[in-house]
Amino acid sequence: MPVSQIEISENLHEAIYRTVGLTKVYGEGAAAVHALRGVDLVIPPGEIVVLLGPSGSGKSTLLNIIGGLDRGTDGEAWFEDQNLADMSDAELTIYRRDNVGFVFQFYNLMPSLTARENVELVTEIADDPMDPGEALALVGLHERTDHFPAQLSGGEQQRVAIARAIAKRPRVLFCDEPTGALDSKTGRAVLKVLKEVNETLGSTVLIVTHAAATADMAHRVIHFADGDVREVIENETQADPDEIEW
Ligand SMILES: Nc1ncnc2c1ncn2[C@@H]1O[C@H](COP(=O)(O)OP(=O)(O)OP(=O)(O)O)[C@@H](O)[C@H]1O
Ligand SMILES: [Mg+2]
């Protein structure tokens, strides 16, 4: 095999995600919005990746497509050796169920269910889940398992949402502004949990944030602007969330 082909296949093997010319256009004609303009990106497995960029630059759109919640208009979005663009809706659902956890800014907990029951929503359908109590203990909430969301602080609710997302031991954890609604102290506690998940479960953790200092804890920082990648920076060292200035 020629050297160039060996390199390509090794690179393919190393990437958990790879996009090629990934494009997303919302709407049509004069109202069309070009949210992604041909994104080429490689994400190696096992890293903490922070995605920064101005509002409207396409960060959530990218996350939603590689997370299997939405589809691109054109181009490729590979998860290991599977092109998400070629999957049926049913296959995308299985991809999400088996591999992916999501954490959003506004928690999305079921208000009528306790913390434990919110986590059980996921563990009941997962292949090899944690015990819900174990997932809640990982985020420091072992004493709050029978509380309803309304009885928990914002940071505690966010940690329940993280427990729910990690309880299935996902290959990938997608976090869209996970600290956006939190004060700095609570935000740091949440970032610590994300780092712990990366280290103990080996999950690839992708964080979209406006808190630029979060980049210091990442292995890789992707700067996004106007629907494309502007710069990718690999950090030689990763800051502890405690050291992050807000
Ligand atoms: N469902 C939609 N229909 C039409 N346009 C959309 C839709 N979702 C997003 N857009 C547009 O696509 C562009 C990219 O949006 P996106 O949500 O990906 O940005 P973002 O980088 O996540 O911004 P923010 O930091 O504000 O969350 C924006 O111009 C937005 O208005
Ligand atoms: Mg967004």
For position 129, which CATH number holds? 3.40.50.300
Residue 87 lies in a domain: no
CB of residue 59 inside a 6 A radius of ligand 1: yes
CB of residue 61 inside a 6 A radius of ligand 1: yes
The full DSSP string for 95-131 is HHHHHEEEE-TT----TTS-HHHHHHHHHTT-SSPPP
Nearest-10 crossing angle of helices 184-201, 154-166:
10
Residue 166 lies in a domain: yes
pLDDT of residue 120: 96
Residue 152 lies in a domain: yes
**pTM beyond cutoff 0.85:** yes
- Report whether pLDDT(10) > 90: no
Least confident segment among 17-21, 101-105, 237-241: 101-105
Residue 77 lies in a domain: no
Distance CA 44, CA 192 (A): 21
Q: Closest residue (by CA) to atom 31 of ligand 1?
A: 56
pLDDT of residue 1: 45
- Report whether pLDDT(52) > 70: yes
Better-scored residue on pLDDT, 233 or 189: 233
Residue 151 lies in a domain: yes
CA of 223 to the centre of ligand 2 (A): 14
CA of 51 to the centre of ligand 2 (A): 10
Residue 112 lies in a domain: yes
pLDDT of residue 140: 87
Residue 142 lies in a domain: yes
Strands 220-225 and 228-234: antiparallel
Task: Kindly report, residue by residue over 100-149, the tens digit of the pLDDT.
Answer: 999 988 888 999 999 999 999 999 988 889 999 999 988 889 899 999 99
Better-scored residue on pLDDT, 126 or 202: 202
CA of 224 to the centre of ligand 2 (A): 12
Task: Kindly report, residue by residue over 154-168, the tens digit of the pLDDT.
Answer: 989 999 999 999 999
pLDDT of residue 6: 47
- Ligand 1 pocket mutation, candidates 59, 226, 230, criterion most atoms within 8 A of CB: 59
CA of 2 to the centre of ligand 2 (A): 42
Residue 232 lies in a domain: yes
Domain count for the chain:
1
Range of the domain at 186: 44-68+98-243
Closest atom, ligand 1, to C-alpha of 64 = 18
